[in-house]
């Protein structure tokens, strides 16, 4: 029945299409949710007109952007200018190939044994999209936005990596599936694991804050700080190319939230996997748990945006280099030492 053709080509292809469609829809609808939630926080109404009740707003926006005139500034570096949005969007989508949405093989594209490494590597490529786009626009505001984000992303990648490595130590694996399974075996979420409670929480906190910075979201939205840099690196982008940057930002939010869920909040596991009394929660399918956790993260993202002012560039760098990197490094060493001395949670 299962020919190699099916196993290696057809089924993965179907999965890829499904994941891409779901992710793109998710990113599009995230923008709608953001607008609605922000509106409620800001005593407004938000988009509620496109039938029914504004639910098709995201689709309408996409159609509008599709039909816009595609402007390329006369003095832009054309090839690089075109490459920018692609380089920004593709990595965000590729990362999803290794994210497990549930325990069964059907609910993920693949399980790579170096999944985390793959994610960190691919996600970093996204920076090129921003810096090249900013540079190729031949606009000073874009250039400054691009430079800012390059500095920001590189600085925040480091503590983020340390936070991730903390989890790797705890789970003793680089595979995302194995990490979730380790959390199941140890009956904990890694944000709150047994004797490692404090380092786990610190790592989680650092990962999340760096995630906000990585996705250029408020209060770290300097690259596109509207009041300073007009629209930052995508000032000159319009129509579909702008839509791609937009998609990349929101897809990245989903990516960061998904990775945080997998690494720190037990992926598809129910809350308190060690408490038998809560076993009735298993009625809810794992994939629902997964997306519920992701949704909580995304809500916090939007909540941030409704609350905080923006950091200044030097303050942002100081925060990254002087606070997050030392703290995450010490945290990582503490966990390593703990595992060495006390015996890790095997």
Partner 1 sequence: MTERAPVHLSADSEEMEISFGPQHPATHGVLRVMVKIDGERIVETKPVIGYLHRGTEKIFERETYNGCIPHTDRMDYTAAATNNQGLVGAVEKMMGITIPPRAAYIRMMLAELQRIASHTIWLGTHALDIGAQSPFFYTFEEREKILDLYEEYCGARLTLNAMRVGGQPFDLPSGWTDRCRAFIDQLPAKIADWERLLTKNRIWKLRTVGIGVMSGADAIEWGLTGPPLRGSGVKWDVRKVFPYDHYEEMEFDIPIGTNGDTYDRYLVRMEEMRQSVRIVRQCLDRLPDGPVMAKVPKVIKPPKGEVYFSVEGPKGELGYYVVSDGTDKPYRLHVRPACFINLQALPELVRGHLVADLIAVIGTLDIVLGEIDR
Which of 218, 252, 258, 261 forms a contact with partner 1 (CB under 8 A)? 218
Distance in Å, CB of 246 to partner 1, minimum: 18
Which of 313, 321, 327, 329 forms a contact with partner 1 (CB under 8 A)? 313
For the chain, give the longest Cα–Cα distance: 66
Closest CA to 81 of 149, 133, 16: 133
| Position 212 contacts partner 1 (CB under 8 A) | no
- CA Rg, the chain, in Å? 21
CB atoms within 10 A of CB 276: 8
Q: Which stretch binds partner 1 (CB under 8 A): 85-93, 112-120, 156-164, 220-228?
A: 220-228
* Alpha-helical runs (H) found in the chain: 4-5, 11-41, 57-66, 78-94, 115-136, 140-171, 176-185, 197-214, 226-229, 239-264, 286-307, 313-318, 325-338
Q: Which stretch binds partner 1 (CB under 8 A): 7-15, 240-248, 290-298, 310-318?
A: 310-318
Q: Collapse the DSSP code of 270 into the 3-class scheme (helix H, G, I; strand E, B; otherwise coil) and give the result.
A: coil
Distance in Å, CB of 191 to partner 1, minimum: 23
Task: Give 41 or 125: the residue with its C-beta nearer to partner 1.
Answer: 41
Distance in Å, CB of 13 to partner 1, minimum: 40
Q: Which stretch binds partner 1 (CB under 8 A): 192-200, 205-213, 273-281, 300-308?
A: 300-308
Which of 82, 86, 120, 228 forms a contact with partner 1 (CB under 8 A)? 228
| Position 141 contacts partner 1 (CB under 8 A) | yes
Q: Are 239 and 70 a contacting pair, CB within 8 Å?
A: yes
* Alpha-helical runs (H) found in 172-238: 176-185, 197-214, 226-229
Rounded to 5 degrees, φ, ψ at 68 are -75, 155
| Position 310 contacts partner 1 (CB under 8 A) | yes
Site for partner 1 in 77-96 (CB under 8 A): 77
Chain contacts with partner 1 (rule: CB under 8 A): 38, 41-44, 74-75, 77, 138, 140-141, 143-144, 218-219, 221-222, 225-228, 230, 305-315
């Amino acid at each position: 029945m299962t020919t190699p053709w099916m196993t290696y080509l057809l089924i993965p292809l179907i999965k890829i299409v499904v994941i891409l469609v779901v992710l793109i829809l998710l990113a599009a609808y995230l923008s709608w949710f953001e607008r609605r939630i922000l509106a409620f926080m800001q005593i407004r109404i938000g988009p509620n007109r496109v039938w029914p009740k504004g639910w098709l707003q995201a689709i309408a926006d996409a159609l509008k952007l599709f039909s816009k005139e595609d402007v390329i500034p006369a003095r832009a570096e054309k090839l690089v200018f075109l490459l920018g949005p692609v380089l920004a969007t593709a990595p965000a989508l590729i990362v999803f190939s290794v994210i497990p949405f549930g325990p069964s093989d059907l609910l993920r594209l693949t399980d790579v044994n170096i999944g985390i490494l793959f994610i960190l590597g691919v996600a970093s490529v996204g920076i090129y999209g921003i810096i090249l786009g900013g540079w190729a626009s031949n606009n000073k505001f874009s250039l400054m936005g691009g430079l800012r984000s390059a500095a920001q992303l590189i600085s925040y990648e480091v503590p983020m990596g340390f936070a991730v490595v903390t989890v790797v130590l705890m789970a003793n694996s680089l595979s995302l599936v194995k990490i979730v399974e380790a959390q199941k075996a140890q009956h904990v979420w890694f944000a709150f694991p047994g004797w490692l409670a404090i380092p786990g929480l610190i790592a989680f906190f650092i990962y999340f804050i760096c995630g906000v910075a990585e996705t250029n979201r408020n209060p770290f939205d300097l690259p596109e700080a509207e009041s300073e840099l007009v629209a930052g690196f995508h000032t000159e982008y319009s129509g579909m190319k702008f839509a791609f940057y937009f998609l990349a930002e929101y897809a990245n939010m989903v990516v960061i939230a998904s990775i945080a869920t997998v690494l720190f909040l037990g992926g598809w596991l129910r809350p308190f996997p060690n408490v038998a009394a809560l076993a009735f929660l298993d009625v809810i399918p794992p994939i629902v748990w997964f997306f519920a956790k992701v949704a909580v993260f995304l809500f916090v993202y939007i909540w941030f945006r409704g609350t905080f002012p923006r950091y200044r560039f030097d303050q942002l760098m100081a925060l990254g280099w002087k606070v997050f990197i030392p703290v995450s490094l010490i945290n990582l060493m503490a966990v390593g030492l703990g595992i060495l001395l006390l015996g890790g949670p095997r």
